[in-house]
Amino acid sequence: MRSSWVKNWNEKQLDNVVRLYATHAALLPADGTRASGQYEIRASLGKEIGSKVVAHSVGIVCSGGLAYDSGTYEQDSDGKHVEGNYLVVLVGANGNWLIMQHASTAKP
């Protein structure tokens, strides 16, 4: 999931990124806002789609129909470099995984 998200993001494929989120997912970006549902997530992510992201997983845990991926990220946009941490909670159904919660924090 992480590699698909990063690949689609870096290729500026916003629709493909949004399809990775469950219908009622929540996005909690580093700026402290909250986007609920695919429509709001699309609007929130659309503001930064030109940036480049690299993500490094620190740990992945899966139990039944739930999983999480936790790690670090680096993002470059308009000459600004940001590093931080992320946590993605996934829900699985019928062999497909979707993002249910996606939170990130930026290092000061």
- pLDDT tens string 59-71: 999 998 999 999 9
pLDDT tier at 108 (50, 70, 90 boundaries)?
Answer: confident
Q: What is the DSSP letter of 19?
A: T
| Whole-number pLDDT of residue 62 | 92
| Whole-number pLDDT of residue 95 | 81
Any idea where the domains of the chain sit in the sequence?
Answer: 2-106
| 27 strand-pairing partners | 35, 102
What is the rounded CA–CA span in Å between residue 24 and residue 8?
21
What is the rounded CA–CA span in Å between residue 66 and residue 22?
13
| Whole-number pLDDT of residue 25 | 98
- pLDDT tens string 81-100: 999 999 999 999 778 999 99
| Whole-number pLDDT of residue 85 | 97
**For the whole model, what pTM was predicted?**
0.92
| Whole-number pLDDT of residue 94 | 78
The CATH classification of domain 2-106, taken from the options 3.40.50.2300, 3.10.450.50, 3.20.20.140, 3.30.428.10: 3.10.450.50
- pLDDT tens string 8-40: 999 999 999 999 999 999 999 999 999 999 999
